[in-house]
Homo-oligomer: A and B are copies of this chain.
Amino acid sequence: MKNLEVVQDELINGNNFFLRNVSIDNVIFGYHQKELKVLLLRPKGLTKWTVCGGYIRKTEPIDEAAKRIARERTGLVDLYLKQFKAFGNPDRTKDAAISINLIGETEGIKADNLAWMLDYFVSLGYYTLTEFDQVKPSGEFNSEECQWWNIQKLPPLLFDHKLIITEALKSLKLDINHFPIGYELLPEKFTLPEITSLYETILEKKLDDRNFAKKLLATGIVTKLNERRNIGPHRSPFLYVFNKEKYDEALRYGITLAL
């Protein structure tokens, strides 16, 4: 957590520290046992929620800025953040004045000093997918709350953040046709129904089990073990592990799943 004086200085003199007219919004998806959630923050004094956003330092590559913002605002480190789309039109943050007044009030800063935030910002959207049961989000100085929300039951969102989440999910659904997922989300040894559920949850649709298993195995990213898990009388499905070498190769060069 940063020193409060530094934070205040950056808030008041944002144009000295940050790029103008371009910012970042991270959509942090969390998966756990057939549920897909998204991590949202509620700024102090506001009733609306936001994704995890922030500004880019003048010395910083955009991908590093995305990581730093996630770390500073939620305490999450080492996230794999994927850039998916930029959002830009002059009206996208038109209700910014209200939130800026509130930031000013709660931080004891004159709203005039925060006027730089009212500018037209093009926001670079990033998303990530993580295991939400592992994460105890902390929020940062200016947030009153930071919590996971089920993707189906989102609270009221600030600015165009509803659109940003919708577009992030659309990208994630397309991207899992071409890039492997699951290494950080499933136990080391997992069953075919478990990995199928993961894909079904993200895609929000039922998959044909056998067909999915066939496609998945054809990519080589999972390996069947000569080992079963006992889950009930007459039910002991085979266990699988990720082939980490093939998995990393697939991350780099892509796969074709066609789900």
Contact = CB atoms under 8 A, between A and B. Distances in A.
B124 A122 contact: yes
Which of A60, A88, A174, A178 has the most B CB atoms < 10 Å from its CB? A88
A177 B73 CA distance: 36
Given A62-B86, A86-B124, A174-B254, A19 B19 contact: no
A59 interface: yes
A114 to B, nearest CB: 18
Interface in A30-63: 56, 58-62
A122 to B, nearest CB: 5
A86 B87 CA distance: 11
Nearest to A18: B21
A120 B257 CA distance: 39
Contacts of A178: 174, 177
A176 interface: no
Interface in A206-238: none
Nearest to A179: B174
Nearest to A21: B19
A254 B170 CA distance: 11
A19 B89 CA distance: 11
Given A21-B22, A22-B22, A254-B174, A90 B60 contact: yes
A1 interface: no
Interface string A61-79: 1100000000000000000
Nearest to A178: B174
Interface string A240-259: 00000000000000101111
A83 interface: yes
13 contacts: A19-B21, A19-B120, A19-B122, A56-B88, A56-B122, A58-B120, A59-B90, A60-B89, A61-B88, A61-B89, A62-B86, A83-B85, A256-B258
Interface of A: 19-22, 56, 58-62, 83, 85-90, 120, 122, 124, 174, 177-178, 254, 256-259
Complex A-B, nearest 8 residue pairs according to Cβ-Cβ distance, in ascending order: A258-B258, A61-B89, A62-B88, A19-B21, A20-B20, A22-B22, A22-B122, A256-B258
